[in-house]
Amino acid sequence: MKEIHNDSPEDLSVYPKEVIKLINAKEYFGRMNDPVSSSYLRGPCGDSMEFYLVIENSKITRIKYFTDGCGATRACAAMAAKLADGRTIKEALSISAGDVIAGLKGLPEDHLHCSILSVSTLYRAIADYILRK
């Protein structure tokens, strides 16, 4: 079960099977043609991340992410998407990098910044929605 979204030879065995399954799931990965809001950030490591949201009645009803990053970046984006899916804007804004790390059951020390990138990109997509209202 080492399928990943790009051609990276990276070994994802540092993650539990549930996390690898989440990384490879099509439910949250990909771009969205008709989002209500979106965001793009590039992390200090050079990985880029995008989030796309559909928000109805202040609730996130659809969420997608896209990244060109490493396994840790994909894992963090997938977990942030999972944590935000179905939540209200207020609830989604309370998701922290620590929540992402906890959901992943840990993250290698040299990839902790990926959790910050994921929640920062999510927050920016929410801010885009708020500013458009």
User: In total, how many domains does the chain have?
Assistant: 1
Instruction: Note whether residue 5 is domain-resident.
Output: no
Assess whether pLDDT exceeds 50 at residue 4: no
**Each residue's pLDDT tens digit, 116-129:** 999 999 999 999 99
Supply the CATH number for residue 88's domain.
Answer: 3.90.1010.10
Q: What is the pTM of this model?
A: 0.89
- Taking the C-alpha atoms of residue 108 and residue 18, their distance in angstroms, rounded to an integer, is 17
Based on DSSP, count helices (H) and strands (E) in the chain, helices before strands. 5, 3
Q: Which domain holds residue 119?
A: 17-132
Whole-number pLDDT of residue 35? 97
DSSP letter (8 states) at residue 33: S
Instruction: Note whether residue 101 is domain-resident.
Output: yes
Contact 83, 65 (CB under 8 A): no
**Each residue's pLDDT tens digit, 78-131:** 999 999 999 999 999 999 999 999 999 888 888 999 999 999 999 999 999 999
For residues 25-52, give the mean pLDDT.
95
Q: Which helix (H) or strand (E) holds 67?
A: strand 59-67
Instruction: Note whether residue 8 is domain-resident.
Output: no
- Measured in degrees and rounded to the nearest 5, phi and psi for residue 63 equal -145, 140
Contact 117, 43 (CB under 8 A): yes
Instruction: Note whether residue 103 is domain-resident.
Output: yes
